[in-house]
Amino acid sequence: MSRRPWGFVAAGLLVALLLAGVVSNYASSHPDGLDSSLLKGCTVNSDGEITGGSCPAQRAEDHELSDSPLADYGIAGIDNGFLSTGLSGVVGVLLTFAIGGGAFWLLRRRTPQRSDTPANQGG
């Protein structure tokens, strides 16, 4: 393949940025299967806080990076939830693209450089 698929890569990046920046704000706020299975046996109030019972979720601890700038699908210091979630998605996509692109660039197959002068023509 002699052509580089820059248009395809740019279109994919644009779609990922739109999904992360806009559509991510409309994702479900209900807990996923893992969260809900950890809450079995407990009573939970409307805010999602455990009020009674016994369940594995009571022994859960915060992650070491829970106070990092991009924790909880938002950016620390931005009060607007829509903007915070969208920007954190965009930053995540750009970081992933940069790290992945850098890795592919480092690991790319290099073709030997062709010389303009003929080698060993003998004579």
> What are the residues whose beta carbons fall under 8 Å from the beta carbon of 22, sequence distance 6 or more?
86
The answer to whether residue 26 sits within a structural domain is no
Question: Which of 119 and 58 is assigned the larger pLDDT?
Answer: 58
The answer to whether residue 50 sits within a structural domain is no
In Å, how far from its chain's centre is CA 48? 25
The model's pTM: 0.67
The answer to whether residue 1 sits within a structural domain is no
In this model, does residue 73 exceed pLDDT 80? yes
The answer to whether residue 119 sits within a structural domain is no
pLDDT digits (tens, 9 = 90+) for 5-34: 889 989 999 999 999 999 988 887 776 788
pLDDT given for residue 98 in this prediction:
96
Count CB neighbours of 83 within 10 A.
14
**Number of domains present in the structure of the chain:** 1
pLDDT given for residue 86 in this prediction:
93
In this model, does residue 1 exceed pLDDT 60? no
The answer to whether residue 25 sits within a structural domain is no
Mean pLDDT of the chain: 85
The answer to whether residue 93 sits within a structural domain is yes
Domain containing residue 88: 78-109
